[in-house]
Amino acid sequence: MHKNISIARGGFSLVEVAVATAIVGMGVTALMVALAAGTRTNHAGQELTQAVFLAQEIREWTLNLPFSDPDPADANNPPGPDSTSPQIFVDDLDDLLDVTYDPPRDGRGVSIAGMDGWSQTIHLTWRNPSNLTSIVTNGASDAIYVEVEIAHYGQAVLSTAWLVTRR
Q: Determine how many CB atoms are found less than 10 A away from the CB of residue 144.
A: 23
Mean pLDDT of 17-23: 90
Q: What is the pLDDT of residues 133-166, one digit of tens each?
A: 999 999 899 999 999 999 999 999 999 999 999 8
Which pLDDT score, from 0 to 100, does residue 53 have? Answer: 96
* pLDDT band (50, 70, 90) for residue 38: confident
Give dist(CA 48, CA 26) in Å, integer.
Answer: 33
Q: pTM, whole model, 2 decimals?
A: 0.76
Which pLDDT score, from 0 to 100, does residue 155 have? Answer: 95
133 touches 148 (CB < 8 A)? no
Which pLDDT score, from 0 to 100, does residue 91 have? Answer: 87
Which pLDDT score, from 0 to 100, does residue 9 have? Answer: 64
Q: What is the pLDDT of residues 53-70, one digit of tens each?
A: 999 999 999 999 998 888
* pLDDT band (50, 70, 90) for residue 78: confident
Return the closest-CA partner of residue 67 out of 143, 146, 161: 143
Does the pLDDT value for residue 45 go beyond 80? yes
